Structure 1
Amino acid sequence: MTTKRCFPPVVDIHTRVLVLGSLPGEVSLAQSRYYAHKQNRFWHLMSDVLGVDLVGLEYEARLQALLDHRVGLWDVVAEARREGSLDSSIRDHQGNDLIGLIATLPTLKAIAFNGGTAAKIGEKTLADHGDRHAILRLPSSSPAYTLAYAEKRKAWESLRDWLD
């Protein structure tokens, strides 16, 4: 089993919603890009949430568009052993300093977990943090989570409430 590491956070002082995944998958790690697997629906879901076509943009422009709309990205796992890309294969994980990052985000209103594994690990990390931010559990954007896209989109659109 090989050790995988997350990417740096994509945030700025205007971030109002922080979307936290678990740990980048193989395709994302190979390309050094968040949500790079073509079947992962993250960029489609965020396009629907923001009303902006992120899918058609170059990667750096996608990240900038998220920041322009006050959305940040990171992962709950800093590093872990894992074969493949499935969250169920994550072993011996070390968590990211979520509380430390949150302390640098003065306008943060909501923390959204992309999938059950991210929520389980992230909520445990934030348990002593109090209730200063809304905590949202979103259905995973991963193709491994087979909920219909329309159902995922409906849940993800709740992010709009925190961006206005």
Structure 2
Amino acid sequence: MATKKSQTRTAKNMRTRVTHEFPALFDDNSEVLLLGSIPSPKSREQGFYYGHPQNRFWKVLASVLNEPLPATIDEKKAMLLKHYIALWDVLDSCTIIGASDTSIEDVVPNDIASLLAQTKIKRIFCTGATAHKLYEKYCEAATGIKAVKLPSTSPANCAVKFEKLVEAYKAIQSV
């Protein structure tokens, strides 16, 4: 008989089809695009990007942009748009095990070229190696823009210290 713990572990290890549930964040003035891979289970639960409480994305951006740490989704959106930053993910859907980017398969990319056509975006940054690899494979030819790979702010990437993340993410400010 399976224990509750082993049932949970098994459920976490199951491959699931995930479809992006919320829109890209951008406006007519957006100049920089930050791309993740696909929202994590915690992000999908919260209905917005980088929703895992241990993910350092919002803390890093607040530090880089010299802004207070945003607490609500509306505050997060306002902070990004104030600094001409758009936010989306490379993938519209994929199969994935839990939140493990390394398990991503069967991908359907987002139409990033269409987003670029609606904005002033000329620079793209990927928030992690998997997002960067997926962007290069599925989107770069259509956009004509090479993306810069930033280190992941995920709790799984805890080897990279906060200060190093802030230093790396300062690149989004350079014009």
> Normalised by the size of structure 2, how large is the TM-score?
0.85
The question of whether the paired residues in 1 share the 8 Å contact of 2:112 and 2:143 is answered with no
Q: Greater Rg, structure 1 or structure 2?
A: 2
Distance 2:142 2:29 in 1: 24
Equivalent AA in structure 1 for residue 49 of structure 2: Y
Letter in 2 for 1:129: T
Moved over 6 A (4+): none
Is structure 2 residue 126 aligned with structure 1 residue 101?
A: no
Consecutive unaligned residues in structure 1, runs of 5 or more: none
2:149 counterpart of 1:137? yes
- How big is the shift at 1:54? 2.9
Identical counterparts, % of pairs: 35
- Counterpart of 2:95 (choices 76, 81, 106) is 81
Output one character per residue of 1:99-128: Cα deviation in whole Å (capped at 9) or x when no partner: 1111111x2131010000110111221135
How many residue pairs match? The answer is 158
Using CA pairs below 8 Å that are at least 6 residues apart, which structure has the higher relative contact order?
1
Q: Find the counterpart in structure 2 of residue 58 from structure 1.
A: 72
Report the Cα distance in structure 1 between the residues aligned to 2:91 and 2:77, rounded to whole angstroms.
20
Partner of 1:147: 160
1:2 aligned counterpart, secondary structure: strand
Please tell me the residue identity of whatever aligns with 2:164: E
TM (normalized to structure 1)? Answer: 0.90
- In structure 2, stretches of 5+ residues that fail to align are 1-14
Partners of 2:87 and 2:142 lie apart in 1 by: 22
Q: RMSD of the alignment, in Å?
A: 1.4
